[in-house]
């Protein structure tokens, strides 16, 4: 064969092998070898491994005028290939179905996962989560007669502390939750009246927050020992008693007003106690309070 012609065929073969390798991977690419001698009868590189399934590319020269390429595997390779092809052919529809099903399943799985995390349901339809009575905090909802839960318990504690409700008036249901009964309804109305709020007996979210804040800041007289400079609702109560006794003059404070025990109040209290034979020690303790409340 002429050198130029053989060089052309080498280029064709190299291009073909590169295309096969690029499409099916390097393992699928056939092997080839040229014999540089003038005898072109042994072009294929012989592979004696019986189980080698590698494609062998045979370049056959019948004459200077006729050249052709052919692929070859061992007989066992043909059987293996036939079996493998038969398996692929027989399962082609199944494989396609599996892929399609897998794709749909994956999509369904992704949707279900998103559905479960956002809606908490398997159907993917949104439904608001059920809130337990133990989860409510005071101010989370409006409370009316018959309602029960932890927020109702907090409301009852505040109403008792502020003097609107008696502990004996509190009732619970079979589950142990405090129930908003008629006594609590009346207590709420009394609180609303004193605060100048609309009286409806319903503990609204706004009223509940006000009740909570008042209860947390409220200190009844006698809950602590008072000295000059201290401030609180208990000082307001003390001042109101002194106003009632004409010890000092002024406008009475509201129940939730905060007043400071200043020097004027201290001096007037000291004089009043001394006039009534009660020693003043600079402290408004239980002894002084008991005398003032007679």
Could you please report the per-residue DSSP string of 242-267?
HHHTTSS-SPPPPTT--EE--HHHHH
Distance of alpha carbon 250 from alpha carbon 88, whole angstroms: 103
Does residue 178 sit within a domain?
Answer: yes
Which range of residues forms the domain containing residue 172? 135-217
| 177 and 236 fall within a common domain | no
Model confidence at 208, pLDDT cuts 50, 70, 90, reads very high
Buried/exposed 34-58: b ≥16 CB within 10 Å, e otherwise: eeeeeebeebbeeeeeeeeeebbbe
Does residue 90 sit within a domain?
Answer: no
Number of domains in the chain: 3
pLDDT above 70 covers a percentage of the chain that reads 56
Distance of alpha carbon 250 from alpha carbon 262, whole angstroms: 14
pLDDT value of residue 238? 97
Residue 49 pLDDT greater than 60, yes or no: no
| pLDDT tens profile 139-167 | 999 999 999 999 999 999 999 999 999 99
| 240 and 284 fall within a common domain | yes
| pLDDT tens profile 218-232 | 999 999 999 999 999
* pLDDT, mean over the chain: 75
- Which residues, in sequence order, are CB contacts of 249 under 8 Å at separation 6+? 243
């Amino acid at each position: 064969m002429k050198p130029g012609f053989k060089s052309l065929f080498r280029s064709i073969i190299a291009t073909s092998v590169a295309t096969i390798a690029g499409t099916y991977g390097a393992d699928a690419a056939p092997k080839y070898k040229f014999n540089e001698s003038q005898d072109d009868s042994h072009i294929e590189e012989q592979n004696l491994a019986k189980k080698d399934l590698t494609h062998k590319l045979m370049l056959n020269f019948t004459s200077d005028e006729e050249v052709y390429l052919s692929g070859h595997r061992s007989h066992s390779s043909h059987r293996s290939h036939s079996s493998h092809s038969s398996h692929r052919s027989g399962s082609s529809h199944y494989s396609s179905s599996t892929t399609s099903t897998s794709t749909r399943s994956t999509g369904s799985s992704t949707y279900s996962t998103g559905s479960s995390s956002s809606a908490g349901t398997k159907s993917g339809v949104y439904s608001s989560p059920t809130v337990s009575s133990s989860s409510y905090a005071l101010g989370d909802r409006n409370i009316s007669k018959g309602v029960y839960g932890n927020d109702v318990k907090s409301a009852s504690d505040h109403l008792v502390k502020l003097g609107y409700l008696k502990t004996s008036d509190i009732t619970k249901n079979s589950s142990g939750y405090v129930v908003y009964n008629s006594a609590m309804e009346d207590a709420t109305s009394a609180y609303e009246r004193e605060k100048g709020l609309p009286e409806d007996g319903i503990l609204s979210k706004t009223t509940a927050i006000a009740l909570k804040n008042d209860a947390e800041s409220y200190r009844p007289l006698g809950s602590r020992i008072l000295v000059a400079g201290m401030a609180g609702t208990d000082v307001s109560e003390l001042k109101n008693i002194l106003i009632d006794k004409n010890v000092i003059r002024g406008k009475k404070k509201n129940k939730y007003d905060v007043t400071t025990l200043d020097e004027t109040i201290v001096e007037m209290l000291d004089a009043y106690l001394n006039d009534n034979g009660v020693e003043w020690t600079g402290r408004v303790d239980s002894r002084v309070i008991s005398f003032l409340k007679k």
